Structure 1
Amino acid sequence: MSNISSNSLFHFTPKKEYLLSILKQTFVPRYCFEEIKLSDKLRRPGFASAIPMVCFCDLSLSQINKHIEMYGSYGLGMTKEWGIKNKLNPIIYVNSNSNISESISQMAENVYQALDKHCSQITKEISDEFMNLTNFLKPYDGDFKRGDDKHKNVRFYNEREWRYVPKIEFNSNVKSNLSREEFSNTSLLSKENKKLAEYKLGFTPNDIKYIFVKSENEIHPMMENLRSIKSRFSPTEIDILTSKIITTEQIKQDF
């Protein structure tokens, strides 16, 4: 029986250029828009904002084909030990018709009321911690949009997502989240994303288990690209990294 869970955490992206950027700069969080729908019967039926994050999936290679189709054919497989050391965590999938949905709605209402009535250091800290918690929520299912691609009725639960979200203090000049309007403002979004560079998620060559490219004819160019990253990796480390290159076409055929 194949494992549901993996010993690796996978991050996929649609373009080779994005993968090379990660290898050169490490993982840099970006604001991603999340909408949590609770029940219409609740006082706060949901909330939405853009959260700074880096996302990974915890799936075995035999189960990863659908994920690659949605997120892209280029990426990295990191050791799970690296993820745990860097405080990544599985997210909480929320069924809108559940007791936890009711609890989240009530907690949100209590926090907002407390801030309105008495914005003290304690209420700010409570708000911070509540936001840190909600940054790890995702709907059990829903619609998925990435660029021009749209997918209806996606069961996000199947992704087994782990997430890195930097812990940003209440009074920081870096925003812990963006509103829908702010996220839709292209110039503002670009400006805020640049600020997240100080929250990079670093790694060493030993933390990498796989480097994914789309097809076999991209393996040699990727080897050459790796050799050009002299500022981050030594010649020996580059040799080791080139041995970890695998194609997503291989995965589809062999797993």
Structure 2
Amino acid sequence: MEIDFKETPELEQNLHWHNSSNVLCNYMREPEYLIKILKNQAIIPRYVTEPLDYLKVDGLKRIAFPMTCFCDIPFSKVGNHMTSYGGYGIALDKNKVIRNNRIQPIHYMNPASPLVADFKEAFNANYNVGKKAHKEDEVLLNYLLSTLLYMKPISNLVEKNGKYKMYIFQDECEWRYIPDCKSISSIPLIINDNKITEKRKNTYSDVLEKHPETWVKFDWNDLIYIVVPDEVALQTIIDAIMELPLDNAKKYLLISKIQISNRFTEDLV
């Protein structure tokens, strides 16, 4: 059976979100990370380790690859998320981010579902094909790898302060941006389990800082909110904004977009 893709519908220019947020937020713990984003007018992806033990794929416990993550959680419900990821953040217009970037909501997987069973079977059959693979096999493997990078378990055990507890990833409502690294010969897209080190991840992430084509760039008009945890942090970010090479009108507009998170999450955190 042949499928005609000529009439594939395009994404509407401005979707109206009812049960999720109108912005995508990237949260962080340190003010210097937020200041760096404002100075670059962009978010730079970094290599992050993702466990894959929930898939039970032979010989594949974890991988690392570059990403920038956003959450799709309204401010009224974001308290627990900020406890995990930090009280500083930047909120971008959701429609603009979707339209201008290679971004995709995460597929939250139930390890007991037939979808995971089929994926595991296909992945195990093709993962170690290597250089002897036919072109058709390479196309399938690339599809499986691409799908893998946007998958996460609904929940899993997470280690924190030497203790393991069950964490519900689906509560993060994550959207993930993965840059196209094909043109950068000095770094791989994926670091395999046996080669993952913090030094290697940081080295490869530093390479991405020299390649603006891999960044999540935004116009100032697309920046809806700047989030800080308290009044002390507010002054720090105001000072940083006043140092940006912008006219005063633009600086004051950015300052007007600052939200203090403890004012809208104090009853949730």
Are the structure 2 counterparts of residues 167 and 157 from structure 1 closer, same or farther at C-alpha, using a change threshold of 3 Å? same
Q: Does the CA contact (< 8 Å) of 2:48 and 2:201 recur in 1?
A: no
Q: Distance in 1 between matches of 2:55 and 2:189?
A: 25
Q: Distance in 2 between matches of 1:24 and 1:36?
A: 35
Q: Does the CA contact (< 8 Å) of 2:102 and 2:179 recur in 1?
A: no
Q: Does the CA contact (< 8 Å) of 1:143 and 1:150 recur in 2?
A: no
Aligned 1:66-145 pairs, distance under 5 A: 66-85=80-99, 86-115=101-130, 118-145=132-159
Q: Does the CA contact (< 8 Å) of 1:128 and 1:169 recur in 2?
A: no
Deviation of 1:152 after TM superposition, in Å, equals 1.4
Runs of 4+ in structure 1 off by over 4 angstroms are 148-151
Q: Distance in 2 between matches of 1:109 and 1:98?
A: 17
Query: Tell me, which stretches of 5 or more residues in structure 2 are unaligned?
Result: 1-17
Deviation of 1:251 after TM superposition, in Å, equals 1.4
Deviation of 1:169 after TM superposition, in Å, equals 3.4
1:207 corresponds to which residue?
222
Q: Distance in 1 between matches of 2:236 and 2:184?
A: 45
- The question of 1:228 aligning with 2:230 is answered no
Are the structure 2 counterparts of residues 115 and 109 from structure 1 closer, same or farther at C-alpha, using a change threshold of 3 Å? same
2:73 corresponds to which residue?
59
Number of matched pairs: 246
Q: Distance in 2 between matches of 1:242 and 1:103?
A: 50
Q: 2:264 corresponds to which letter in structure 1?
A: I
Identity of aligned residues (%): 25
Q: Distance in 1 between matches of 2:146 and 2:109?
A: 16
1:243 corresponds to which residue?
256
1:27 corresponds to which residue?
43
Q: 1:128 corresponds to which letter in structure 2?
A: N
Q: Does the CA contact (< 8 Å) of 1:8 and 1:77 recur in 2?
A: yes
SS at match of 1:97: coil
SS at match of 1:23: helix
2:208 corresponds to which residue?
196
Query: Tell me, which stretches of 5 or more residues in structure 1 are unaligned?
Result: none
SS at match of 2:125: helix
Q: Distance in 2 between matches of 1:209 and 1:121?
A: 45
Q: Does the CA contact (< 8 Å) of 1:115 and 1:123 recur in 2?
A: no
Taking structure 1 as the reference length, the TM-score comes to 0.86
Are the structure 2 counterparts of residues 191 and 139 from structure 1 closer, same or farther at C-alpha, using a change threshold of 3 Å? same
Q: Does the CA contact (< 8 Å) of 1:13 and 1:75 recur in 2?
A: yes
Are the structure 2 counterparts of residues 103 and 155 from structure 1 closer, same or farther at C-alpha, using a change threshold of 3 Å? same
Deviation of 1:195 after TM superposition, in Å, equals 1.8
